Amino acid sequence: MIVKELLESVAEPARGRRVVDVRIGLGYTAVKLDDNSCGLAGTPKEELSPYCHCTAVREAGSLAGREALSLAEWALSPEPLASALGIATINALLSSRIEIKGQEGEGDILEHLPIKKDDIIGMVGHFGPLVEPLRRRCKRLYIFERRFQGQAAEGLYPDWAAELLLPQCTVAIITGTTLVNKTIDHLLELCRGPRLRLVALAGATTPLSPLFARYGVSHLFGVRVRDPARLLKVVSEGGGTPTFGDAVTKVAIELTPAGRASRGLGGTAPSR
């Protein structure tokens, strides 16, 4: 299980680290550690109703001060919000651990993912700002969205349609929130067919870890938090990637088949 492997990979850097701040916003959940590192995960607000009424986190008021590894272990929880808190903690631990080798500069997924005109793209999660630019560059774009409600939109399908259509694609772009809802392992299994030449994880929830290369992932598009205080304020006030601004730097990593980062590029925040 990928989330379990991620958790094992941060066990050593988590030694001695403690949580100093936790914010659960409408768009994102953020965790800050005592070394000033900070991580994000998308808040799974559509999935919270079975688990909360007036209280969303039973342990609220006791999260700050915990050992970082203790909160990171929540990534394995079947409860959506606990899982998001765990992934955000893992991302905070990874943010000061992975080295981005090579050139860093301005850029985003549209600039650094080599799309061809004959590509068929499968997008897991609706990345609104990317849809039209990608559609103009490729032969066909399928969008698989868990919150699909029968909207009349070109190429938009419910998330379960990925089972049928993703193996037909040549490029897959998968939201990092699939780590929160634990669908990442199966989705990457669907991407192991001979047609897929590029597999990217994208969004601020994406863990910047080279272990994804072992599962066929070619690119990671995530963020590094540069201004934790500003980011925590934005998250608390219900903001998301359009309002993160200079609080984060966008990071694009091309992974080698051996599983180490071969290239890093910095810029502003990607959506979702």
Q: Which two tokens stand for residue 65?
A: 């001060």
How far apart, in whole angstroms, are the C-alpha atoms of residue 6 and residue 41?
A: 14
Q: For residue 29, what pLDDT is reported? A: 97
3-class DSSP state for residue 231?
A: helix
pLDDT in tens, 51-60: 556 667 778 8
Q: Is this structure's pTM higher than 0.85?
A: yes
Architecture label for domain 2-95: 2-Layer Sandwich (3.30)
Q: What is the mean pLDDT of residues 21-42?
A: 97
Considering only residues 117 and 154, tell me which one the structure prediction assigns the higher pLDDT: 117
φ, ψ for residue 94 (rounded to 5)? -70, -25
In the chain the first and final C-alpha atoms are separated, in Å, by 23
Where do the domains of the chain lie? 2-95, 109-267
How much is the mean pLDDT over the chain?
87
Answer for the pair 50, 18: CB distance below 8 angstroms, yes or no.
Answer: no
How far apart, in whole angstroms, are the C-alpha atoms of residue 249 and residue 53?
A: 35
Going by C-alpha positions, the residue among 21, 33, 38, 18 that lies closest to residue 244 is 38
* pLDDT for 106 beyond 60: no
Q: For residue 101, what pLDDT is reported? A: 43
Q: What is the mean pLDDT of residues 114-142?
A: 95
Considering only residues 60 and 270, tell me which one the structure prediction assigns the higher pLDDT: 60
Strand partners, 174: 124, 201
* pLDDT for 42 beyond 80: yes
Residue 167 burial (C-beta neighbours within 10 Å; 0-12, 13-18, 19+): middle
Report the range of poorest mean pLDDT among 72-76, 153-157, 207-211, 222-226. 153-157
Report the range of poorest mean pLDDT among 38-42, 175-179, 221-225, 227-231. 221-225
How far apart, in whole angstroms, are the C-alpha atoms of residue 241 and residue 223?
A: 10
Q: Which two tokens stand for residue 170?
A: 């040549």
* pLDDT for 36 beyond 90: yes
Q: What is the mean pLDDT of residues 217-225?
A: 93
Angle among Cα 21, 24, 26 to the nearest 5 degrees reads 150
What fold, for 109-267?
A: Rossmann fold (3.40.50)
Q: What is the mean pLDDT of residues 136-149?
A: 88
Instruction: Work out the pLDDT band at 119, boundaries 50, 70, 90.
Output: very high
* pLDDT for 105 beyond 50: no
Q: What is the mean pLDDT of residues 16-28?
A: 96
Going by C-alpha positions, the residue among 194, 187, 185 that lies closest to residue 172 is 187
* pLDDT for 208 beyond 80: yes
